[in-house]
Structure 1
C-alpha cells in the first residue's frame, strides 16, 4: 500500500543514483512525468516487474523519467541491474528507507506515476498487466507520444502477481 494514492500530491525527494548523480523529483518534473518504481532485489515480483520498465524507458524516456528506487545497497542494486539488464536510472533508498517511508510504502514493487504538476496519476503495488498498460497509456498521453506495447502476445506473463 501507499499513502500517495492517485490524485494526491507526491512528496518531493532527492536520492543518489548508482551513477553517483543526485536525482531530484522537483527538478525532473520540470521536464515531464516521473515513474517511480520502488523495489527490493530479493523480491520475486520485483524481478518480474522491473524488466518491463525498460520498454517504458525506450518509448518514453525522451520525455519522461523512469526511475527504479532500490531499498538495497549499491552493490546489490548494481548486481540486480546487470542480471535483469535494466536501462533506466536506479536510485538508492537505503539506510532506513527515508523516501519509502515518506511515501508510506508497505509493499514492493510499488509504482507511482507522477504528473509534471506533482500529482500522482497512477499508484499501485504488486504486478498487474493492466496497471502497466495504464501507465503506458498515461505516459503516452502526458508526453504526447505514440503508445508503447508493454507486453507481446508470445510472452507468458501472469495477469497479476502480488508484491
Structure 2
C-alpha cells in the first residue's frame, strides 16, 4: 500500500473517465483548489449522503475557491445514473482498476464484521493550485464529513 499523503506532498496526477462520457484530469483544475474525495460505491446510503452533502455545499466551497471531484471504483454507467438521480453537478470519476485510489493511499486493508479485505478507504484530499496536498483525511465518515471539512478549511 502507498504511504498516506500528507500536506506538502505533490498530489498524484490522474486522468479518468467521468460520468458525462469524457475524461477529467487533476490538471483540469490547475491553479484551482480542489477537493478530491474517494467513496466506495455510488447509490449506497452513506455514499449518497456524502455526495448530496457535497452537492449542497458546492456554493460555499466554490465561493471559497474550491472545486469538488468524486472518485469511486464504479463503472461510468453507474456514476451517470447516480449523478442524474441525485442532481450531482460536480465531476464523478470512474477508477475501476483503483489505480488512482492506490496512488492516493485510498485503497487498502479494511475490516468489516470481522472480515479483512482490500477495498476503498473513504478519504478526502485537498489539493492547492500548485498541485500540492494541503489536507489529507482518511477513514472519514460519510455523515457529517463535509461539515467537518468546511470547518477544517474555515469555510462558512
After TM superposition, the score normalised by the length of structure 2 is 0.73
Paired positions, count: 140
1:90 aligns with 2:104: no
Which residue pairs with 2:122 in the alignment? 109
Match of 1:64 among 43, 63, 66: 66
TM norm structure 1: 0.70
User: Partners of 1:49 and 1:75 in 2: how far apart?
Assistant: 20
Maintained 8 Å contact 1:41/1:72: yes
Q: What stretches of structure 2 of length at least 5 have no aligned partner?
A: 109-119
Cα gap change, 1:122 to 1:130, in 2 (>3 Å): farther
The runs of 5 or more residues in structure 1 that have no matched partner are 141-146, 149-163
Deviation digits for residues 3-52 of structure 1, max 9, x if unmatched? 2233322111111211223222133122x111111122265432221111
The structure where strand makes up a greater share of residues is: 2
Is contact 1:17-1:91 (8 Å) kept?
yes
Whether the 8 Å CA contact 1:10–1:118 is kept in 2: the answer is yes
The CA distance in 2 between the partners of 1:113 and 1:60, in whole Å, is: 12
- Per-residue CA deviations over 1:86-106 (Å, capped at 9, x if unaligned) read 221111111x11211111213
Q: Over aligned residue pairs, what C-alpha RMSD do you find?
A: 2.7
